[in-house]
Structure 1
Amino acid sequence: FVVVEKDPVLCQRLADEGYLFVEGDATDDTTLETAGVRRAKGLVTAVTSDTENVYITLTARGLNPNLFILARAGEEGSELKLRRAGASKVISPYIIGATRMAQAILRPSVVDFIEIAAPGHNLEVQLEEQRIAPGSALAGKTLLESNLRREFNIIIVGIKKADGHMVFNPAPETLIEADDTLIVLGEYPAIHKLETIAGRGRS
């Protein structure tokens, strides 16, 4: 990834820590082009000003119509503006934080489970997503035929279809198709093996 930053002090810190960065204003076309926005798959705009996030989103969308843009919203009402500007997804840290605090009181066991399964919180059990590549050995098989649970002890929590439809707790007869994204829960070594199978063609 490439960081776009206009603060010289922070740019020096990025350089010292070995990160790729472009010094400049992210609302400027030239800066984003220098950062490679035209060939990028995704962009995260998370500056503290919602107005600047809107400008960055507008600029990036104009330079790359197919770009996935994740935008930060700080104020109520900014989400709609960011989506109108071209954001693919909008996240409000304040809303997420408030919801998490409420859930920690109302459903503490659920929150504990999510924290355990989140990447980086537990080295053994992780909740991950894995795209099924065209030609994968899993494409065209049902969950039962795939033997993922039996061979790898992986739980398929959901399947996101290519059209964006999400299938929660899929049945054993659910068909795995190319470009599906499996939402899985399991140990890291098993998930690593799944990555290999999901991206590998039939032999």
Structure 2
Amino acid sequence: MYYDNLPVWGFVGKVEKIIPNSGEPQYRYYVFTHMSFDIKYNGDRVIEINVLTDPAHVADVSEGAELPTVAFTYSVKWVPTTIPYEDRLQRYERFPLNPVHLEIHWFSIINSCVTVLLLTGFLATILLRVLKADFVKFSRGEDGAPNHSSPSLEFEEEESGWKYVHGDVFRFPPGKAIFAAFVGTGTQVLTLSFFIFGLSLIGVFYPYNRGALFTAMIVLPYC
């Protein structure tokens, strides 16, 4: 249960194990009928909620037992505190049931980005040199003079790799409309993913605000 994005934890019952002198052990199940809520507040904001149960107020709901008519009750105690609203979640960060807020290792991220950029630069340099040599070869004839006509038979025999499809690069594919729709939608989804990832890195999304990330994924494309 949550109240003002604060998790509220408590026990709703208990189990008792009865070991007889002979035979298998038996289990009795009880439900707490009274709960006490201790709520700490600072001004008009709730800072902490604790749930306490009274073992003296229970109802037996074991199998085979006659179910009584149960009246559930609760009590609330308001306690003022000086803990600021910004620090109210520090108490819950120690519990393993909460989502773990991982520390971002900026040095590793920057190191990875620089490595990718360097490798991309090296690959682009190699490709530019290879393509430049091929362009020069195709734009000149056998005697070294510029040749704007089709390549000779010798050059056609030497064609390999990407040169087989160089004439199909600028050819329109079939179904241009649906192809453009797919490319546009994919670009939008990719841009949205990077944008939300960037907002998550800088801490825009509240870690315990459930559904904020999914709401942003639905709302942002229409903004």
Q: Same fold (TM over 0.5)?
A: no
Q: Which one has a bigger Cα radius of gyration?
A: 2
> Which has the higher relative contact order, 1 or 2, with Cα contacts under 8 A spaced 6 or more apart?
1
- What interval of TM-score do these two structures reach, taking the shorter chain for normalisation? under 0.3
User: Normalising by the residue count of structure 2, what TM-score does the alignment of the two structures yield?
Assistant: 0.20
